[in-house]
Structure 1
Amino acid sequence: MKITTEKQLRELYGFPSGRAKDKVFSTLDKHAINFIKKSPFVVLSSSNKDGKHDASPRGGFPGFVHVNSDTELIIPDAKGNNRMDSLSNIIETGKVGLLFLIPGVDETLRINGNAYLSTDTNHIDLFASEQHPPKSCIIISVEEMFLHCAKAFMRSKLWDTSTQINRDALPTMGQMLKDQLGSKEAPETREAMVKRYKKDL
């Protein structure tokens, strides 16, 4: 059966109760702030006005996302490939979702809110020590914040080194792109790609 209504969904799953229902807050508490300051990685999700979705990985030193207040976060837009999927979506809808991760920690922190792009020097200067200071920052007003349980990471054993595959079990990025694009050129080696990436870090 294809589920097409909220009623069908709730008949199948029921409703949240207890902590699952009560753990959503509209401001950042000390634990959320501490989590963000220890996180070197966040997934930024967004969509455009037509409902086309995007999820973009963002990384930096632990705490690279600046906590401006208990309701505002600032994410520097690090040098990238200029696709601008997330930034264009933010301009169109002003909405984002964030998933913060900390290596070795199975729990995650989820934040949903409003967002806009800024080139204000007060925002840019927060990241002046970066090798490549951002051209813009993403300013996020928190609407929802909650900790997410460890089940997905426990199932996947994401941080368990015994589950890590040998990188040679996958083709290099250069080879995959060559195949996908139908290029006749020799694929870029992993070593060459890493060397090129390091110039932008």
Structure 2
Amino acid sequence: MRQDNRPGALRRLTAVDEVEAVIGRPAAVIMLKQIGSLDEGCRAVLARSPVAAVGYRDADGARRTDFVGGAPGFARVLSPTRFSCALPGPGDPRGPASFFFLLPGVGEILRVNGTVAGRAGAETAFDVEEAYMHCAQAVLRSRLWQPPPPEAPSAAADTASPSDPADPADAAGTAAGGPLDRPGVAEFLAAAPFLALSTWDSSAGSDTSPRGDRGPVARILDGRTLVIPDRRGNKRADSLHNLLQDDRLSLAALVPGHGGVLHVRGRGAITDDAPLLATLALRGTPPHLALVVDVEHAELVDNDAVTRSRLWTPDARLDRDAAPDMMALAGDHLAANAGAEGAPPAFLLRLLGALPGVTRLMRLVIDRAYRSGLRKEGYDDEPGARRRQSPRRRAGAGGSGGRARSRAGQGDR
């Protein structure tokens, strides 16, 4: 639904101090969850993930975000610091690239950032610079793994065929209308609760972040402007910090039950404009910030990876025995950084790792924190929301906890 707010009149935040005055700074332990290689836990996620979001720049410098894959194990681990996969679409990827890997039925996400190492045929290799677990908030907010609503738009009705791509001039809009006025775009966005947002910093770093919301994750202000609420999280805010250095971005939006993807490119700004934030409130609770996107390109396409991965079918969900233990993965990454400033003492991590059932307890604690955070954001308006999260909790507390505890306990010996 379009809003009356005029994009040019919105207050913009342009400095780190302004942003951190609103969101705060992350706890030191948040920054210690990342490692510089693909350990056993990361490799387990890649082996089971059927699809990932990726952000990269092509040879012409155009920013692109897409969903890639199609089957579990599509990303091949070549070494602890290198993996490869096929990238569809135009352009020869160059420079920094960033991924997040989805596990059907699981809330947490594995994020991997690095650089393009080279290309051989359809496969592109990437050097890993950092890997870490991302919390489940985006998936829970969007209810990504819940049965798709019956009103989801038809892929045949509003996406272009891959063999008949949209004309670039059409995707950029015309003088009479912007890119978001193209047929099917507004309807798709109205049904899209989840997207991947790619940003870049001034030091050749890239970040692709999941965004989810109840209802549309991005709202149309006019034919050339989107607004994306930025609700409270762990305060890491990589995307926001990147946009302060380089305002160019790209995103790819999904609709559950749908095989199409909406690709958007443009420039982003951060706003704390109170009247605009009020229009994005949930049960009277507005987001603390929002991203305003000046859209230069919008295009709906069929996505082979989303279709072949069968993301929206119940039998694609990972069961308890198949799902990697994401709590153990985060614990292993934290243990790998024991001794760093702000990290828990190594002896404490070893002690916790030796306790029976510790990953199950961590799962319960984290799920309680998720529910509390969602209620504070205004998501408590869904009857039975806690009940619908239970299968994810059971899957996350799977039977691999003993093996994970063993790895964490040995990490500092």
TM-score range, shorter chain: 0.7 to 0.9
8 Å Cα contact 1:79-1:132 kept in structure 2: no
Q: 1:41 is matched with which residue?
A: 194
Q: In the alignment, which of 17, 20, 26 is matched to residue 165 of structure 2?
A: 20
Q: Aligned pair 1:175/2:328, yes or no?
A: yes
CA distance in 2, matches of 1:178, 1:131: 36
From the superposition, tell whether residues 76 and 64 of structure 1 become closer, same or farther in structure 2 (CA, over 3 Å). same
Q: 2:368 is matched with which residue?
A: 195
**What TM-score, normalized to structure 1?**
0.84
Q: 1:108 is matched with which residue?
A: 261
8 Å Cα contact 1:108-1:149 kept in structure 2: yes
Gaps (5+ residues) in structure 1? none
Q: 2:385 is matched with which residue?
A: none
Q: Aligned pair 1:140/2:313, yes or no?
A: no
Amino acid at match of 1:85: D
Q: Aligned pair 1:162/2:287, yes or no?
A: no
CA distance in 2, matches of 1:168, 1:196: 24
SS in 2 for 1:20: coil
CA distance in 2, matches of 1:113, 1:130: 31
CA distance in 2, matches of 1:171, 1:190: 13
**What TM-score, normalized to structure 2?**
0.43
From the superposition, tell whether residues 119 and 192 of structure 1 become closer, same or farther in structure 2 (CA, over 3 Å). same
8 Å Cα contact 2:211-2:217 kept in structure 1: no
- The farther-off stretch of 68-77 and 149-158 is 149-158
Deviation at 1:77? Answer: 0.3
CA distance in 1, matches of 2:371, 2:252: 25
Deviation at 1:18? Answer: 6.7
Q: In the alignment, which of 218, 234, 240 is matched to residue 65 of structure 1?
A: 218
SS in 1 for 2:199: strand
1:102-153, CA deviations, whole angstroms, 9 ceiling, x for partnerless residues? 1110111010100010011122111233564211110001001101213111
Gaps (5+ residues) in structure 2? 1-58, 61-90, 93-120, 123-161, 173-178, 336-348, 353-357, 375-413
Identical aligned pairs, as a percentage?
27
Q: How much is the aligned-residue C-alpha RMSD, in angstroms?
A: 2.5
From the superposition, tell whether residues 68 and 74 of structure 1 become closer, same or farther in structure 2 (CA, over 3 Å). same
Q: In the alignment, which of 57, 73, 76 is matched to residue 229 of structure 2?
A: 76
- The farther-off stretch of 159-168 and 41-50 is 159-168
Deviation at 1:21? Answer: 5.3
8 Å Cα contact 2:250-2:266 kept in structure 1: yes
